Amino acid sequence: MEKGRTAQVVRETKETQIRVTLNLDGTGVTKISTGIGFFDHMLESFGRHGAIDLDIETKGDLHIDMHHTIEDTGIVLGQAVAKALDGFKGIRRFGCAYIPMDETLTRCALDLSNRAYLIYKVDYLKPKVGDVDTELFKEFHQAFAMNSGACLHLETLYGANSHHIAESGFKALARALRQAVEIDPRTGGMAPSTKGVL
């Protein structure tokens, strides 16, 4: 992996075995294997649009369902982002993105504040996208927010196609994160907070 803010996190439980390696200063090169085709596609979009080099290998208990695989991948990805940020020093901290996909428009506002919170206002018209239960996308974003230290607000303003709704959400998160993790030369390498630490 090229130089930059990098991290690797490995997590093994009775339900999942996950390895995430990333570079926040990458170009969006991805290698994703979770055993869930649509989820792989979402994570590839996340890496590409976040300009994050991302290598994810997840082996989960898919013979039960997809819940543990998707949620636990969000946990480890969030931990890897937090680890690569190394105390949130010198970053812009805030990011925002609007992503249109045909009839759908989704907004993401993000604060890398080390005070995790999720507002998720996303309604799906179908219970599944491909084989994936659409309710699991909230579980991913919740896990990512809690483990990255992000205050994450994600809202689909309108949309009719569940594929577009899900994908615009991952892309909006990626674009907002890309802004938030950028190094701000005006911070002098300090955490962007009046407290001096995040």
pLDDT digits (tens, 9 = 90+) for 138-152: 999 999 999 999 999
- Distance from C-alpha of 132 to C-alpha of 97, rounded to nearest angstrom: 25
Residue 1 in this model has a pLDDT that exceeds 50: no
Q: Are 165 and 131 in contact (CB under 8 A)?
A: no
Residue 196 lies in a domain: no
Q: Is residue 169 part of a domain?
A: yes
Global pTM value:
0.95
Q: Phi, psi (5° rounding) for residue 112?
A: -85, 80
How many domains does the chain divide into?
Answer: 1
CATH number for 116: 3.30.230.40
CA distance 7 to 173: 19
Note the maximum CA span of the chain. Answer: 50
What is the average pLDDT score of the chain?
95
Q: Which residues contact 180 (CB under 8 A, 6 or more apart)?
A: 91, 92, 93, 94, 95, 110, 111, 112, 150
Residue 167 lies in a domain: yes
Q: Is the confidence at residue 110, as pLDDT, over 60?
A: yes
Range of the domain at 26: 6-187
* Residue 76 is assigned to a structural domain of this protein: yes
Domain for residue 194, yes or no? Answer: no
User: Would 124 be classed as within a structural domain?
Assistant: yes
